[in-house]
Each structure stands twice: as C-alpha cells, then as structure tokens.
Structure 1
C-alpha cells in the first residue's frame, strides 16, 4: 500500500530543507562531503630517499621536507632506504598505503631501470603516481687537471691513440655509465669502464688522476671544478648550465644523444586520491618556485622545475623511450 503525506507536511519539509541549505551557505559550510584533501595532512609525512644520506638527493629531500613542514605545520621526516640502485626505496613507496603520508623523491634511474633490469618488483606507471618534477640535474664530462686535453675533441683523439684507458662512472647502469658508453659509441673510441659506488669516490679518483675522465654530477664536482682541480669539458642536457655558462653541451660539440636531462622528482603510491596528489604537487611547486627554494636548489647546482603531475607524467613517458634507445645503442645491462 502506498502512503502519501499531506501537502502541508511536504511543503513544511521542503521549507526546512531550503532553510538548512541557506543557513549552511551563510555559515560557509558546504552541503557536499569533505574531500580527502581537506583533512590532509593530519599526521606525520615520511619522505623516502632511495639513496644513502649525504648525497644530492638526500640534501634536496631534506630541503623539501623542511619547507613542507613549515608550510603545513606538520612533521615531515626523511627516511633513507637505499639498496639496489634505488629499487629498494622505490618499491617500498610503491607498496605503501596510498594515503599521501609516504612520499618518494626519486631520480632518473626510476625511468631508466625498466630498460636495464629484466624484472622489477614494481611498475613505475602502474604502482606509482607522479607528483612533480622538482629539478633537473647536470652530468659533466670531467678530466683531472693533470691531463693535457682541454676539449672533448682532444680527449677523443687521445683515446683513439691510447685505446683501453680507464674512464670512471658513479656506478654500473647509471646515467654516468650510459653517457660513458654513449661517448664510446658515437666517437668510436675504446675505453675501459671503472664503476664506483657513488660520485664522491669517483671524484676522489679523478682528483688523484687514477682515471682518465669521468661523467660526474655537477653537484658533486662543482667545488673541485671551480677550484681548478678538475676540468669540465662539456655538459649533458639541451642547454648550457647557469652554474657553468662557458662549458658547452655535448650536442653543441657534435655528439648526439646527450640531450636527455637527468632529474629528481616526487612520487606517491598509485592509488593515492587525486585531490591529495594535487595538493601535494601544488605545495611542492610553490616551494620550488619560491626565492628560498630556488636558492636552495641552485646551491646544489640543480635547475628548479616544479610543474603539475600531468607535466611530470609526460616527461616520464618521453624519457622512458629516450633512455630505452640509449640502452639499446650502448648495450649497458643492469645488475
């Protein structure tokens, strides 16, 4: 049986609902349920660095953590989870709760790895969501001051006349290694790869003239280059760097393939609500664009970027193809 309320009762109910809606609007209260981002963050955030403490990624991560903590009046802690060339920390975040409280600061390795490693424990596009590309990094073709060559051409001529000379990188299957093998390929030279466990020991052996040349990150080598103890012959990337405007790019010198930029970027687990991803992205982009952020990033010889999750996603998909081509060309294999 169907029951019908009297018209007078229905009108009264409608009036009450209308009054409640008007009152809520006047008081600034939305009639829609609160979004996930409204309450975020309400507790401690962990920023995972997939490399040991003390490196450029770690220093940048601590800068971002401090600025986020100041802006949001909440605790942001840095946790170093190194191992597997970044894979351990990347995988930890990929499998974390997708609530915005576990965040990853990764480097270019995360998009190179699919072409270098047969099987990864995560899929960067399925298990992680891009937040923002924080900064671009720079790799410098560097030689000891004791070496006589002052240009890439002179280095190449020397390598052709003296095959098998050692060149150093900051690790097997890293950007440094890929650049080294790419130079061997495009310049048709033969040099012996000597991998180090990071940029610091590589730089030390360059200073000691133990290796003939090395592709080093500018963050690590900058002070020694400025002091004249190391000589910068060229940089990777599309443009010259503000920190070393007189040093040409490899592309300028006629060596193709080195235009791909290294970078550092932030990710969260893939299922993290989009509103939270956007809120985190917007705040990080603001920090990166602020005078303090720019100064801190440039102190590390990095180039501030910022940008949206969509911008970062496009960069990731573009670089996946480009680095994949370099891996095929050089034959470099991951461990």
Structure 2
C-alpha cells in the first residue's frame, strides 16, 4: 500500500510530465514565422545607390531596425534596367528574410521584354505601395513657348523636335508617348540612361524638351534653369503649385506617376507581410522625406490595391506601346 507522501510525489511527477509534454508539443507545432524577425533581413534594391529607390529603402530599413532590433541590409543589385535585382527577389526563399523595393518598372517589364525570367503578377507577394511622384513637361529656359498651349502649337509647326526621357520603357518615356497621342504632336524620343544625365543635357541646351520625374526637375525649376509647362498628377503638386496639370488643360487621361512598392517572393509568411505593411504606414507619415525629395507623395496601400495597380498598368502600357509602336526587346 502506498503512503500518502509517495502518492503525492507520484501525482506531482505525473502532472509535471504531462505539462512538459504539452509545452514540448506546443513548441514543436508552433510556426517559427510568428516570432518574425529573429535575424537580419535583406532588402534588395535593383538599382545603384544614390537614387530615390535607394534613399527610400534605407529610410525604411533604418525604421524597421529601430522597431524590431534586427538589422535590415540594403543590397543594391543594379543591372539590366532593374531586371537582375527583381529576379533575385522572385527566386528568393519566401521566408520573409529577403524582400525588395521596386518601382513601377515592374508593370513595364512584361510590355517591353518578350522573355522574362519571372511573372510580374504571379511570382511576387505584394506588400504595400510606398511612394509616388508625377512627371513634368519641362523645356529650357530659353525655349520660345511659355505655356503648354504655346508648346503644342510650336510642336505642330515645327515637328520632329527631340524630347528627353530617363530611358526607353520608363514612366517618363511612356508619359511622353501618351502626350504625343493625346495632342497629335510629333516629337521624337531621345532615351538617356537615367534622369540626371538627361537633365544635365536639358540645362546645357543639348536637348530642348524633357519629360522628367518631378523630384529630378524641382530644384532646376526653382533655380530658373528650366521651365515647367504641365505636370502629370491628378491635381496640382504642392512642390510646383503654379504649374497646371495635363488634366486641367483638357487631357484627363494624361495622369501618370512613377511609384515605389515593397514586394517579396510569392508565399511570404503573413506575419512578415503584416509587419512590413506597418512599417510602410509609418514611413508614409514622415514629413522629412517630402522635404528631402520635393514632389514625392508618401503613401501606403493594401496588398490587394498594389496587385491591382500592377495588373492595371500592365494593360495600360501594353496599349500605349502598341499605339506608339514601342517594340519588344
């Protein structure tokens, strides 16, 4: 017959064993992603350091590092117009520890490339929009046309003038082609390798007309080195409040903007998507970024809204490319 003390000790041991077994089972079945992040995160930027994409990525990474206590390493993987870095994101392990900050080029890749190593819609986990910036039609300070109406009249009277953009297939290029289709003017595309060299040639007078990102153009507009005739936002920009929109000038469909978005490989854990969305919302409320990049609009979105934007723009750019006879590479 067992003594009461032995019975109690046996009962306690059995209870402890049961509790330990339950804790073990719970630990084994728990999803490790729920503790996200537990180590450093790679944030791929498919462009060289120094541009707006890189600047936004570093602001985002620094904020996430402060909040989570884990390093966020910005990895610049430039090349092939952003295709190399974008492909790395698509093919990364979908564990939440490799994500990317991409531009609206994600929607032009399938329009301009016959063979892509990824699908711009199916191969990515859409997290949130980060920011956007409209484009602006600018001319040299000495250009005869002072208003958009005068510009159209002059372009029709003197067809074949060149207009600069930041490169073939960029948002500025497509905006220029939309301008040609909407107004019936004949201006010839001059592709540069980036907005900075195109702007330098505009200021020097080597090219007289340019479709530029507003962030690239604002410092030169304010300095009086170039003249802005129209902006492609839906409403006037606070950065250049005296410049009319194409929309108010009678071209309601000429509303375009470059954008930046946070995207990961398809199948990322929901907790990772949710936490990065929170960081995007925080970034959207920071006035200091707008001060450093005049013309930029900080924003955030749901994954569904971002996915819809990409799909819609693919359709829009395919239509423009067909009408403007922009060939696939």
Give the TM-score band, short-chain normalised. Answer: 0.7 to 0.9
For residue 124 of structure 1, give the secondary structure of its aligned residue in structure 2: coil
1:237 Cα deviation after fit: 2.6
Farther off after superposition, 242-251 or 100-109:
242-251
| 1:288–1:34 CA distance, 2 compared to 1 (3 A) | farther
Which residue of the partner structure matches residue 287 of structure 2?
Answer: 294
Task: State the 4+ residue runs in structure 1 displaced beyond 3 angstroms.
Answer: 30-37
Structure 2 length-normalised TM: 0.88
Q: Does 1:116 align with 2:109?
A: no
The Cα offsets for residues 271-296 of structure 1, whole Å up to 9 and x where unpaired, read as 2122221222122222322xxx3321
1:36 Cα deviation after fit: 4.2
The Cα offsets for residues 260-313 of structure 1, whole Å up to 9 and x where unpaired, read as 332100100002122221222122222322xxx332145313101112212222
The Cα offsets for residues 11-48 of structure 1, whole Å up to 9 and x where unpaired, read as x9xx969x959x99xxxxx8995444432111111111
Which residue of the partner structure matches residue 3 of structure 2?
Answer: none
For residue 238 of structure 1, give the secondary structure of its aligned residue in structure 2: coil
Q: Does 1:230 align with 2:226?
A: yes
Q: Does 1:325 align with 2:325?
A: no
1:229 Cα deviation after fit: 0.8
For residue 216 of structure 1, give the secondary structure of its aligned residue in structure 2: strand
| 1:82–1:256 CA distance, 2 compared to 1 (3 A) | same
Q: Does 1:145 align with 2:138?
A: no
The Cα offsets for residues 36-91 of structure 1, whole Å up to 9 and x where unpaired, read as 44321111111111111111111111111111111111111111111121111110
Which residue of the partner structure matches residue 268 of structure 1?
Answer: 264
Q: Does 1:60 align with 2:56?
A: yes
How far, CA to CA, are the matches of 1:302 and 1:172 in structure 2?
A: 22
| 1:327–1:298 CA distance, 2 compared to 1 (3 A) | farther
1:196 Cα deviation after fit: 0.5
Structure 1 length-normalised TM: 0.86
- Contact 2:109–2:120 (CA under 8 A) maintained in structure 1: no
Q: Does 1:307 align with 2:318?
A: no
For residue 264 of structure 2, give the secondary structure of its aligned residue in structure 1: strand
Q: Does 1:285 align with 2:281?
A: yes
RMSD of aligned alpha carbons: 2.4
For residue 67 of structure 2, give the secondary structure of its aligned residue in structure 1: helix
For residue 35 of structure 2, give the secondary structure of its aligned residue in structure 1: coil
How far, CA to CA, are the matches of 2:153 and 2:307 in structure 1?
A: 40
- Contact 1:37–1:279 (CA under 8 A) maintained in structure 2: no
1:83 to 73, 79, 85: 79
| 1:181–1:74 CA distance, 2 compared to 1 (3 A) | same
Which residue of the partner structure matches residue 162 of structure 1?
Answer: 158
How far, CA to CA, are the matches of 2:244 and 2:38 in structure 1?
A: 48
How far, CA to CA, are the matches of 2:324 and 2:174 in structure 1?
A: 7
Which residue of the partner structure matches residue 193 of structure 2?
Answer: 197
- Contact 1:145–1:231 (CA under 8 A) maintained in structure 2: yes
How far, CA to CA, are the matches of 2:61 and 2:302 in structure 1?
A: 19
Give unmatched runs, 5+ long, in structure 2.
1-10
| 1:59–1:133 CA distance, 2 compared to 1 (3 A) | same
Which residue of the partner structure matches residue 131 of structure 2?
Answer: 135
- Contact 1:260–1:322 (CA under 8 A) maintained in structure 2: no
